Structure 1
Amino acid sequence: MKKLIIVTGGDGRFAKKLRQKNKKLFLKFFNKKELNILDIKSINKVLKKFKPKIVLHCAGLSRPMEQHENNINKSINLNIVGTCNLVKACSNFDIKLIYFSTGYVYDSQRGNYKETDPVKPFNNYGWSKLGGECAVKMYKKSLILRITMTEKPFAYKKAYSNVFANYMFHEDLINILPKLINKFGVINVGGKARSVYDFGKIYNKNILKIKNIDKNIPPHQTMNLNLLNKILKNKN
């Protein structure tokens, strides 16, 4: 029998795509009305009723990035407090928690960051996700995925040629997720390291090349994917 996996943030961009494309995992999706991560009673009610083996925590606040600067209460509540609530509930029910974090937890000045490298977020979004990580790390029965992904097709008409990252599409993560759910600890997850422009032009030949001059956007956002590649090469 397949493990039941509860997915938070069931109305989110990734969860919607996961619902459409998943073929291997036994998933049950919950939106914020059905499972409110800011309400511990709501969380406990769902976990007690469905008794999942895993909670895949996709709920939270991401884009646009400005909202993490302009409304820190919302950022803190959804990405830190809500995650802390889930950690406590999963711990009480002995349920594994998989947390979707981000490569933005690294300072992104030199690139090729390993999971064991020091973390120092370069914006409030990264700090909010790292805040969630702190709680998850305290719970041994957990997995943190530091992910760099975006929607398909590439949505932008312009892209930076001097900012480098590991972008992958939602569909790419969905394909490899079954090989990751039984792991623990921290795993960097993304695609080939390249400029945002080089990634975008593969899917949009007319994309415009531009240079980043914003000092708040660091140039080397790439992660070391050796651990991920080792896992994916393992046929077991």
Structure 2
Amino acid sequence: MKILLTGTTGQVGYELERSLQPLGQVIAADRARMDLCKLDQIRDVIRELKPDLIVNPGAYTAVDKAESEPELARLCNAQAPAVMAEEARKIGAALVHYSTDYVFDGTKQGAYVETDPVNPVNVYGQTKLEGEQAIAASGARHLILRTSWVYGMRGKNFLLTMLRLGKERDELRVVDDQHGAPTWSRTIADTTAAVLAQSRQDGWWDQHSGIYHLSARGQTSWCGFTRAIVEQAGLACRVTPIGAADYPTPARRPANSVMNADKLMRLAALPDWDAALRLCLA
């Protein structure tokens, strides 16, 4: 199987390049080779390589900056995946695409399931939703994997920021009224590979194409996540809870980002968020 992988310098893309190796020939396309802002380049690369599978973790992920750059976010998060899906359908390839918990508005009591109504409250979530909708309408075989609160030991993410600040400061003041499931980038990559290992079965894509929630089990707040980071990393700073209103940002965040992953767990296991964090830090 020939696999075209985008976004290989990102957190998830970096891990996928390793996790997908047992499944076939992985062709890693970094931004220099396939820039998600250049739609014609995307078409040219896919037509040249003719992959059996396209895996697209690449995205515009600067949530706050997207509020002032909506068209750039839309180009990367909506139009680029639409082109990938269109080209995949033409050559009979399948597409794996990553979306976000931010397609929801956070007002639900309890965990979101895949069929719950979507209602993004920021530009990033809106553009990711438009990408989902374009893929679903394309007729291509696909998996749309919604992830949440992604972190890892490389790139820019909440874990690395808290590790740095925890060494520099005596106190960390962190939002405690937004809830979700921190999900390690390696969990996302390994779970994706475990699911795709089953896809060689006849009729598998016809049966399983659709949207899945791929987030760690359990839930916490940003403050709870920080306390776990500080404790497991052996840092001495104290963690003080604050409200989202005390830490205003350009983009609104949903108060509830917890997603039910039971549908995906029929295909692959997922760890508890705190157990995955322990493994990541180890």
TM-score under structure 2 length normalisation:
0.74
Which stretch shows the higher mean deviation, 166-175 or 176-185?
176-185
| Matching residue of 2:223 | 197
Q: What is the RMSD computed on CA atoms of the aligned residues?
A: 2.2
Please report how far the alpha carbon of residue 38 of structure 1 lies from its aligned counterpart in structure 2 after TM superposition: 4.2
| Aligned-pair identity (%) | 20
Residue 20 of structure 1: CA displacement? 4.9
- Quick one: distance in 2 between partners of 1:81 and 1:131? 8
Name the SS for the 2:58 alignment partner: coil
Over 3 Å counting, the alpha-carbon distance change for 1:196 and 1:186 in structure 2 is same
Paired position in structure 2 for 1:210? 241
The answer as to whether partners of 2:82 and 2:138 remain within 8 angstroms in 1 is no
Q: In proportion to residue count, which structure has more helix?
A: 2
CA 1:211–1:221: 2 relative to 1, 3 Å: same
In the TM superposition, 1:1-236 aligns within 5 A as 3-20=1-18, 24-26=22-24, 27-63=26-62, 65-110=63-108, 111-140=110-139, 141-153=141-153, 154-155=159-160, 156=162, 157=165, 158=172, 159-181=174-196, 182=199, 183-191=208-216, 192-205=218-231, 206=237, 208-214=239-245, 216-232=252-268
Give the aligned residue type for 2:258: T
Does the 8 Å CA contact 2:176/2:244 hold for their aligned counterparts? no
Q: Is the 8 A contact 1:40 1:89 kept in 2?
A: no
CA spacing shift, 1:209–1:229, aligned 2, 3 Å: farther
SS at structure 1 position matched to 2:59: coil
Q: Secondary structure at the match of 2:102?
A: helix
Distance in 1 separating the partners of 2:224 and 2:5: 32
**SS, match of residue 120 in structure 2:** coil
**Paired residue total:** 230
Q: Displacement of 1:219 after TM fit?
A: 1.8
Letter of the structure 1 residue corresponding to residue 209 of structure 2: F
Shift of 1:87: 1.6
CA contact (8 A) 2:99 2:129 kept: yes
Q: Distance in 1 between matches of 2:21 and 2:91?
A: 27
SS at match of 2:89: helix
Q: Which amino acid aligns with 2:150?
A: T
Runs of 4+ in 1 over 6 A off after TM superposition: none
Q: Distance in 1 between matches of 2:98 and 2:9?
A: 15
> For the pair shown, which has the larger CA radius of gyration, 1 or 2?
2
Residue pair 2:181, 2:215 contacting (<8 A) in 1 also: yes
Q: Report the CA distance between 1:82 and its aligned residue.
A: 1.3
CA contact (8 A) 2:88 2:94 kept: yes
Instruction: Say if 2:102 and 2:253, in contact at 8 Å, map to a contact too.
Output: no
Unaligned regions of 5+ residues in structure 2, if any? 154-158, 166-171, 200-207, 232-236, 270-282
Deviations 1:6-63 (A, max 9, x none): 1112222321233356553432210222123344442333223322111011222002
Q: Which amino acid aligns with 1:145?
A: L
Normalised to the residue count of structure 1, the TM-score between the two structures is 0.87
> Is this contact kept in 2: 1:109–1:221, CA < 8 A?
no
Name the SS of the counterpart of 2:267 in structure 1.
helix
Q: How far is the alpha carbon of 1:162 from its aligned partner?
A: 2.2
Evaluate the alpha carbon distance shift between residue 213 and residue 196 of structure 1 in structure 2; reply closer, same or farther with a 3 A threshold.
closer
Cα displacement (A) at 1:112: 0.6
Instruction: Give the letter aligned to residue 29 of structure 1.
Output: A
